[in-house]
Structure 1
């Protein structure tokens, strides 16, 4: 039977295999405004140790084969994924995966690959007394050498997270102004893409764009039709806010200083000077999806067959582009309703910490995994919780 036809016959009986999701692992970087993505090492190690005792970790290709019926289902199978390709995946997570004989997949965006060519010190070096503990406190993104070494170990696989992991302005809805401490990765990264891998560690990153730079409604690159803002309006905002007290930033106070100008540009249809045309969007979609696959395969000398959509944003059109490019499956994300199918990786299970308590954090991880697997008592507790929630 033809593979695609065979797969279609299996969609009503696709086995459920848990897929766990992490991002950053390691010490909290207090200077980073996205440090909510970081799970500290003690909590992470507790969870990995538990997984190693109760599950058989697999890569996504084996996951896809089991769900397709091409390989016998392992009832203990579990997939671990880490999004974004942070440097701490190499420094902290990878050595812990090795320690517990656990496999994991890292989703990487080529535009974020660090330009360095030597592996930075990691926890293995510290355990072997080659470096001090302080030398491990680095933040950024993986370089190609680190990725290749992890792949060669057999514990880590690398797959695609699209090329850019960015967002673009999609309307004339003004939502803020750039200010100190603002999460400016996307507006600054779009203007200076070569600086993106260093936005966590480089304090000058936010200064690449003047404070007062206007920010508009945005969505993920793969869904966005880019709206280009009139640079005359942008300059007018920056000039109007040049003496603004950004140390005590308030959007409403800043907006009051540019409101008349904003309304004038809107009323005269001068705020948006261009909207991305369909052909431009399709070319950019190819770059994000097929381009990332080509880049990763070239730099890592391995097949790239799975794609995780940043921010959970995607469309059926973007998914179709991925299938045409040669991917076997993409994530569903949580923002669109997609029926079960072999070429989609269902919602992943995020494991975090709970109330800064290791016992509660591990218990919550056990609860999430146990509920997914319909295990007693976790599944029964979750059903009771749902009933009580509905009753209230």
Structure 2
């Protein structure tokens, strides 16, 4: 086995098998990493890339995105029990700004609570939509919980808005009540914060979307919304209403989105990244040196701005860490919920 270095990342850890990684499977995976690898930190990775040092054993970084409560309830006790370090990239806006500390798996092991008293995680879509629609979701960490994990977790940035927006006028579908992304409520809004959201309505066009930081944002024109809202319920009961609506829109409108200028985009991105970093540093009382791109999306403009604010940034591109890599485009490997996929990736990137 070569002395490869790579970074893996998770999102949610569940009490049992389901929509994400089960804690029993997670513990099994962590035990394998402990036995066969050096489990290192992002600070170690940065040192390897900026000096002539390199590990004498295959090495891996364990990381988590978004800042879900289940990372504290289920992942943190397992990592602590095994003596492993990890990294978490919380979304600064999602963190609950209160002194709340909910029971963990360790409390269950000690007989302080029953399993039924432990947090039951929502899906990522449910948690993020709940935050966008109400301004709060109990599925995310509190400041107190985030700080309580610092003996195991290093804490770094994952921006503030963390939502997809439209960047191309190509109509790829229409919202029909069952499709679209959880962040469409933000994409159809008109603000760069969370003050002017707009729930998608049946018939709203769906366009190609990406992380709000990675594109010049396009806002759906109000006149297009008004036209669609004027059609009435009967129109949407037609069998081929999507085809008919697409033809109507292309007939009646020369364009569908109003795009921000490149200058406005740069101002917006720099403001969000700066504010998110400052907010997180105030919460944890430590410097935030590293950043992971929301959804893994980035372009050269975002890379350029991130390089002014962070020492290194991380993508979701599947590769090992190599000398000479761009410090603002470092790869990470997402781990699926099933154990065979974990094992396959660990083996693949150990020998790549």
Q: TM-score range by the shorter chain?
A: 0.7 to 0.9
**1:285-364 → structure 2 map (5 Å cutoff):** 285-325=269-309, 327-334=310-317, 340-341=324-325, 343-344=327-328, 346-354=330-338, 361=340, 364=341
1:105 Cα deviation after fit: 0.6
Quote the residue 2:347 is aligned against.
Answer: 370
CA contact (8 A) 2:16 2:24 kept: no
> Closer, same or farther in 2 for the Cα pair 1:243/1:194, shift >3 Å?
same
- Seen in structure 2, the aligned counterparts of structure 1 residues 121 and 179 have a Cα distance that, compared at 3 Å, is farther
Q: In the alignment, what sits opposite 1:279?
A: 263
In structure 2, the partner of 1:4 is: none
TM-score, structure 2 normalization: 0.81
What is residue 201 of structure 1 aligned with on the other side?
A: none
Q: Find out whether 1:169 has 2:170 as its counterpart.
A: no
Report matched runs for 1:1-392 at 5 Å: 16-27=4-15, 35=19, 38-69=20-51, 73-136=55-118, 137-139=120-122, 140-151=139-150, 154-190=151-187, 191=189, 208-240=199-231, 242-243=233-234, 253-266=240-253, 269-272=254-257, 274-325=258-309, 327-334=310-317, 340-341=324-325, 343-344=327-328, 346-354=330-338, 361=340, 364-374=341-351
Q: 1:132 to 1:280 in 2, by over 3 A?
A: same
1:302: Cα distance to partner?
0.9
Larger relative helix fraction? 1
Q: 1:47: how far off?
A: 0.4
Shift of 1:368: 2.7
**Matches of 1:181 and 1:27 in 2, distance apart?**
28
The CA distance in 2 between the partners of 1:21 and 1:188, in whole Å, is: 27
Structure 2 CA distance for aligned equivalents of residues 142 and 189 of structure 1: 22
Output one character per residue of 1:167-213: Cα deviation in whole Å (capped at 9) or x when no partner: 11112222333344445421213549659xxxxxxxxx9x9443443
Change (3 A) 1:148 1:189: farther
Alignment root-mean-square deviation, CA: 3.1
Q: Secondary structure at the match of 1:75?
A: coil
Secondary structure of 1:372's aligned partner: helix
| CA-CA distance at 1:48 after TM superposition | 0.7
| 8 Å CA contact 2:5, 2:59 repeated in 1 | yes
Unaligned runs of 5+ in 2: 123-138
C-alpha deviation, 1:57, in angstroms: 1.6
**Following the alignment from structure 1 to structure 2, what is the Cα–Cα distance between the partners of residues 69 and 236?**
60
TM-score relative to the length of structure 1: 0.73
Separation in 2 of the partners of 1:156 and 1:310? Answer: 19
Q: How many residues align?
A: 327
Q: Could you say which structure has the greater relative contact order, defined with CA pairs below 8 angstroms and 6 or more residues apart?
A: 2
